[in-house]
Structure 1
Amino acid sequence: MRGLPRLWRDRRSPLRPARLSLVDRLRTGSSGLRARPTRVVLSALGIAIGIAAMVAVVGVSSSGQAELDQRIARLGTNLLSVTPGENLFGEAAKLPEEARGRIDRMPEVEHTSQVEQVSGANVYRSDLVPSAESGGIAAYGVDLDLLEAVRAEVAEGTWLNGATSDHPAVVLGASAAGRLGVDRITPDTLVLIGDTYFSVVGVLERSELAPELDNAALVGQRIAEEVLGAKGEASTVYVRIDPEHVERVRDEVGRNANPEKPNEVRVSRPSDALEAQQAADQTFQGLLLGLGGLALLVGGVGVANTMVISVLERRGEIGLRRALGATRRDIRGQFLVEAMALSALGGVFGVLLGSLATAGYALLRGWPVSLPWWAGAGAVVATVAIGAVAGIVPALRAAAQHPTEALGTA
């Protein structure tokens, strides 16, 4: 009799149910998804929309940043714009005539070019246009090396040269050409500046570092003084600095331009505006990320709802598995894996949708396509985590059912 308990323990041990392997858990968990494809697709769609929105926002932001980096690399961050400020009485100041020469003598300066805005020289398509409809187009007397300084490009025609700069010839900025209706250049294409007709010899692309030139008519400095009444006073001096010394030399440029009144000189770096614009875009993208996260949360609620209904509908299956030896742990793992697989399916589909949206938008804007690897990987991991959270309560509820009660309600 004393040996019976020992014998009973030996005989009981082989009857203990074997634990399911990871592959078996995945197989049993995915079987529930295959049995209800329509419900799975609708539930995964909520997750996919949230993930697609978040991936697309990250991808578009990254592509925009890559495009900005390319533009800044092409345009350079070493251009300074020197313009007159205000005097102590709040009146507009002027740059001294020697401003450019003084700046040129600085050892860190690589290149300079200046322009003069000619006051009173309005620009019209012809003398038939009412004087009040000038379109705000300004006339500038410019140096021939202006394009080299601001790194602008000619969209059509040619830039001013040694011959045309001494004659009534003009190059229009991109916006100015549009407002004047100049869509092509012929020998008969003329615009009226002041009281003199000028031949249009070129149209510029939009200038990102000198946007004031977009709505301008650019003529040679000499012809501006002889015909339009320019005074030879620079309104802006564009300065290219050795890239390694930009921050240090920035304040010195203003002091050299006007040593007597350095407070009346304004020095700015045009590339800062491009970076500020990108920062503003990123603030808006943060809002979109929040909306994507909200959609993802709604998708998680949908997964939880689907799993709760699945537990109610499959009570008979749960009871049968328990009667055949499945443990509470097996049942809990089955429904938890099913919820995670459902979320992962939506996550993968969402990453694909977001990647396609990113590529389409970037190519449409002419940007390089850039999507960080961590965006896709993080999205899938996030969806699996959401699936685990959404499925834990239904899984516990399924595991808590007694086999006889579950079979009795089947």
Structure 2
Amino acid sequence: MSEKQIEIHAPHFPESIQSGEIVRWNRKPGETFQRDEVLAEIETDKVILEVPAIDDGKLLEIYKPEGSEVVSDEKIALMVAQKYSGQSENQPQTSPENHPDKRQQAAKENTSSAVTPRHSSPSARKLATEKDIDIQQISPTGRRETVTRTDVEKQLQRDSESSATRSASQGITPGKTRKIPMSRLRSTIAKRLLDAQNHTAMLTTFNEVNLHAVQQLRKTYQSRFQERYGIKLGLMSFFVRACCLALEKVPQINTTSDEDHIYQHDFHDIGIAVSTERGLVVPILRSASSLSLAGIESNIADFAKRARENKLELEELQGGTFTITNGGVFGSMLSTPILNPPQSAILGMHSIQERPIVDNGQVIIRPMMYLALTYDHRVIDGREAVTFLKTIKEILENPGILWLEL
């Protein structure tokens, strides 16, 4: 039967993405794969897109190697479907063990390739697991051919020396500077940050919030909340709900803009900044005002998990009317967030620190957080920005407002 060759195409990009870069091929020409297996990964300025196999088959040729730029729906490789690879679907495959004149050869190969499990000490196994080393590949020196912890340590040293030798052969000298190309995501982040600084009138206003009441609520109901919803009751859900109520009170904050128009939105699509190894991404909580605290926490946890795995969909990163970023998870005490255009404002959360405050004439210690609201002064006046931040402070210091919706 003749081979049926099939062209492999890049995914269809949305209008906001002009091109992408192939960062990895998971199969080489001549290698086989199964349906839905990820053959290649394409990095765009927002997410990494996967190119799945449309059928079982074999990769014949790669048109676009790693590092190549590709556009939407472009041909990137050629494959042949398995059922057209020259063997009938109904005809059983002949294998070495079923083929009489190859049984002896197959047996010899299987014998030579068999791996005899090695004995190893518990400490050796633990260290090998921690360092991700195949203990079967380590030569034993212990009694009765047992792999010891010392054997594993010597293998680690050999691997380190081998890595240093490879680095030296590639021109990487310890103590010298290496030039690392920017990823598409990092380049896009840099461009957007500069655009925000050059094309908006950014101003930041500050306040501080006493989180004692919120912390007491979390402490009191944490176990019941987790038992019912299967997720921890964090701070972000309180802040998201507080922002939604504050946006209703000060709708001028819930806006986007271009050169000629301001767009005021009656819905609250809240962007949650998530840090990943590739850079910062901002997935969107759609209609956040309609979500419960559990719904908010669940969505944010899902976003964070899939962001680290590069599994976010493009649609989840588009749009948004307001953004929250939390530098406090890294220990930041105070910062001035940069706008996420075309949005007009962004709220910065920071670390919680116990500080003395005066309450009814008494000095008490309370968990305090500094808040920062950066806004586009072309669109939002100072009165509106300050009112918005004071509203968030009032809600979080009196969280009953979240349920009474006052």
TM-score (norm 2): 0.20
The higher radius of gyration belongs to 1
Instruction: Write 1 or 2 for the structure with the bigger share of helix.
Output: 1
Which structure carries more relative contact order (alpha carbon 8 Å, separation 6+)? Answer: 1
